[in-house]
């Protein structure tokens, strides 16, 4: 049985870092072309499963004409086509009004709760001037909140009139306003969705579809929150790794490995046309966790163990790590293939980002991360 040579004992082992850096540059360049799906960019994303031959430019022009909207983005996807439409302006404005309503409603609910507590206290202390003043202030806030809710609903109904007709507000009761606001938006969105699908049925022969709708406001909010989660994850990981090794070197190497895997995965997504969305963000978080696992395993064996030389320990870690990664690649490769043939966009995004990231992880961890940790280990021993 042939045994692979220990690459870390080679005289030019320091040049192993070149490949991870190449992957990093590739990821940085390609990720500038990464597209967002509707869950992050806002708009409407429709995925059609069809065997029909479609000319994207022609279909885009026909949809733009029939729906009276800007030309949608259309591209081929596994088993069908992916259509991205800008959200109807009236629907988008109505959702902004609905969000304003929710803000007023939340303020009303919290103030109403405080008012109830003050009223109960005032029953026991009817002459308490402070409680009387506080109750009057709360009542003023409640009235202003109801006025705000009513105004928001009126604005929403005005925007939605082309879809659900003219509707009147018959009460100032917050519960009634809440039901009216939610149902009106839901009904208008359903009408708009049916009109889009009706036009698509005239132009394309398809059996199944997926439909996602989100306003740019919410899309931007989700994106900012996801960026915060990823940044927080890296900061916490850095702190924990530094605490374990009491050294900046291994902490930097571990963070470099996870970041490089993620950047390479984003570049590969752009290359193969996989959009970035909430689903693929979940895949990125899984990838970060897997990368940290292999990187910390390597760092612990090289820095904390004492059997053999550091190069021998790095080589032993590589054999274990590659076996783990290869198993994961096979698993996600199967999921990726199934998502293409079964046409499941969510699995396609998750499996795609993790699969590409794991392939990059082999080179990043064992050519880059392990080389860095060996360097820090040798420097520490001098």
Task: For residue range 364-376, list pLDDT tens digits in order.
Answer: 888 888 888 888 8
Mean pLDDT taken over the chain: 84
Res. 16: pLDDT tops 90: no
pTM beyond 0.85: the answer is no
Q: Which domains does the chain have, with CATH numbers?
A: 7-39+217-381 (1.20.1640.10), 44-214 (no CATH)
What local confidence, expressed as pLDDT, does residue 1 receive?
A: 40
Residue 180 φ/ψ region, left for φ over 0, alpha for ψ in the -120 to 50 degree band, beta for the rest = alpha
Task: For residue range 143-169, list pLDDT tens digits in order.
Answer: 999 999 999 999 999 999 999 999 989
- Helix spans in the chain (H): 18-30, 38-41, 56-67, 89-124, 129-164, 174-203, 216-245, 248-271, 278-304, 310-341, 345-363, 370-381
Tally of CA atoms within 13 A in the half-sphere of 289 that contains its CB? 8
Scanning the structure block, which residue is given the tokens 């963070």?
A: 255
Alpha-carbon span 374 to 382, nearest angstrom? 13
In three-state form (DSSP H/G/I as H, E/B as E, the rest C), the secondary structure along 284-321 is HHHHHHHHHHHHHHHHHHHHHCCCCCHHHHHHHHHHHH
Torsion over CA: 260, 286, 230, 30 (sign): positive
Task: For residue range 224-268, list pLDDT tens digits in order.
Answer: 777 888 888 888 888 887 887 777 877 888 888 888 988 999 999
Task: For residue range 79-117, list pLDDT tens digits in order.
Answer: 678 788 887 888 888 988 998 999 999 999 988 888 888
Task: For residue range 23-43, list pLDDT tens digits in order.
Answer: 999 999 998 888 777 677 677
Burial label, 375 (beta-carbon count in 10 A; 0-12, 13-18, 19+): middle
């Amino acid at each position: 049985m042939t045994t692979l040579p220990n690459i870390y004992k080679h005289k030019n082992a320091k040049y192993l870092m070149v490949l991870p850096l190449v992957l990093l540059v590739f990821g940085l360049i390609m990720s500038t072309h990464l597209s967002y799906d509707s869950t992050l960019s806002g708009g409407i994303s429709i995925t059609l499963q069809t065997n029909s031959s479609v000319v994207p430019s022609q279909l885009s022009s026909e949809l733009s004409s029939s729906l009276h909207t800007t030309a949608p983005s259309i591209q081929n996807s596994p088993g069908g086509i992916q259509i991205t439409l800008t959200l109807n302006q009236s629907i988008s404005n109505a959702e902004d009004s609905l969000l304003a309503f929710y803000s007023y409603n939340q303020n009303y609910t919290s103030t109403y709760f405080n008012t109830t507590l003050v009223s109960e206290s005032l029953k026991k202390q009817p002459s308490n001037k402070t409680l009387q003043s506080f109750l009057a202030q709360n009542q003023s806030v409640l009235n202003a909140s109801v006025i705000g809710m009513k105004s928001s609903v009126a604005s929403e109904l005005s925007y939605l009139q082309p879809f659900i007709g003219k509707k009147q507000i018959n009460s100032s009761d917050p519960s009634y306003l809440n039901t009216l606001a939610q149902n009106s938006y839901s009904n208008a969105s359903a009408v708009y969705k049916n009109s889009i699908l009706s036009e698509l049925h005239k132009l394309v022969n398809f059996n199944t579809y997926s439909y996602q709708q989100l306003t740019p406001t919410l899309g931007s909010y989700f994106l900012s929150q996801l960026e915060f989660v990823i940044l927080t994850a890296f900061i916490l990981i850095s702190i924990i790794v530094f605490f374990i090794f009491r050294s900046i070197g291994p902490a930097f190497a571990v963070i470099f490995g996870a970041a490089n895997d993620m950047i390479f995965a984003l570049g590969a997504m752009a290359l193969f046309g996989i959009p970035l969305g909430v689903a693929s963000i979940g895949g990125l978080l899984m990838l970060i966790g897997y990368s940290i696992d292999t990187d910390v395993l390597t760092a612990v064996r090289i820095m904390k163990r004492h059997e053999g030389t550091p190069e021998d320990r790095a080589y032993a870690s590589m054999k274990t790590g590659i076996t783990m990664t290869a198993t994961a690649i096979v698993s996600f490769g199967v999921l990726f293939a199934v998502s293409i043939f079964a046409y499941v966009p969510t699995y396609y995004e998750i499996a795609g980002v993790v699969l590409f990231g794991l392939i990059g992880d082999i080179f990043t961890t064992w050519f880059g991360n392990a080389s860095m940790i060996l360097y820090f280990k040798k420097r520490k021993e001098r």
